[in-house]
Amino acid sequence: METPLPEKLSASMDEKSLAAWRFAEKAVPRFWQAAAFSGVGGLYAAFFAVLPDARHGNVFRIIFLHVPASWMSLFIYLCMAFWAGWGLFSAKRECFADSRLSHVMSSALAPTGALFTFLSLWTGALWGKPSWGTWWVWWDARLVSELILLFMYAGIISLRSAVDDPRRADKAVALLTLVGLVNIPVIYFSVRWWTTLHQGYSITLTRPPAMAPAAFWTLLLCVFACAMYTAAVSLTRFGNLLLEREGMAGWPRGAIPAENG
């Protein structure tokens, strides 16, 4: 399908890339600041302000690391799927968020999502060992679902690196991301059914019975800190990817001034 006026289209694509780059440049330091403040506050509260449980000592504090990691791993996947879907939807339409840029944002999110998924498993294992005696338990449906989510992130990252042409890679990975999105509830449901099948009931290692208000707000603060970190890191990666992909275009000359030395 031919697009009309290729010259004009590429000029507006340049503008959009430039605008996106400028947005990222301005936003990233803010996100780092927010991440630093909320991170320091959250860690202080998690490690010192919340009182320890008489029985379990300090180990329960892992919850302030594990839950943010799990929530981020899922939230990042949702964002990735949103940008992938928007990239596919807006491909032939004039929308404010360009199709290419949406795909680049989606691929900028993937490694961070995989990292948080791994951290969720890691902190879960380190919570499980003192609490339940083994590094890995199969009867926690959420933990098993996180493992499968890690496999899905691995598939997305592998497919992107396997397809040479960036545009084709974008679209293929976008399709895969959306298929994976549909499967996440299916996988979670099937794993939960599987745990009830094998022991008659389903319990979760990772959900504490009740949370005192102080603990709850500390948890939210830690989640917020991770979200700010994610935004800072993903937007930095977004900027890097933009430069790598469109290095030969015109807009970087306006964005990055020449300097001496």
What is the binding site for another protein (CB under 8 A)? 57-59, 61-62, 65-66, 69, 111-112, 115, 118-119, 122-123, 126-127, 129-130, 148, 151-152, 154-155, 158-159, 162-163, 165, 168, 171-172, 175-176, 179-180, 182-183, 186-187, 189-191, 193-194, 197, 229, 232-233, 236-237, 239-240, 243-244, 247-248, 252-253, 256-259
Phi and psi, residue 57, nearest 5°: 70, -145
- Give the C-alpha separation, 143 to 43, whole Å: 23
Q: How many CB atoms lie within 10 A of CB 259?
A: 5
Nearer to another protein by Cβ, of 139 and 180: the residue is 180
Say if residue 108 is exposed, middle or buried (CB neighbours under 10 Å; 0-12, 13-18, 19+).
buried
Nearer to another protein by Cβ, of 184 and 220: the residue is 184
Least distance CB 97 / another protein (angstroms) = 20
CA 240 to chain centre: 17
Least distance CB 168 / another protein (angstroms) = 6
Phi and psi, residue 152, nearest 5°: -70, -40
Which residues are within 8 A (CB) of 189 and not within 5 positions of it... i.e. 6 or more apart? none
Output DSSP code: residue 53: B
Least distance CB 84 / another protein (angstroms) = 12
φ/ψ bin of 228: left (φ > 0), alpha (ψ from -120 to 50), beta (otherwise): alpha
Nearer to another protein by Cβ, of 13 and 108: the residue is 108
Nearer to another protein by Cβ, of 132 and 216: the residue is 132
Nearer to another protein by Cβ, of 16 and 129: the residue is 129
One-letter amino acid of 221? L
Least distance CB 126 / another protein (angstroms) = 4
Nearer to another protein by Cβ, of 23 and 189: the residue is 189
Least distance CB 198 / another protein (angstroms) = 8
Say if residue 56 is exposed, middle or buried (CB neighbours under 10 Å; 0-12, 13-18, 19+).
exposed
Least distance CB 27 / another protein (angstroms) = 14
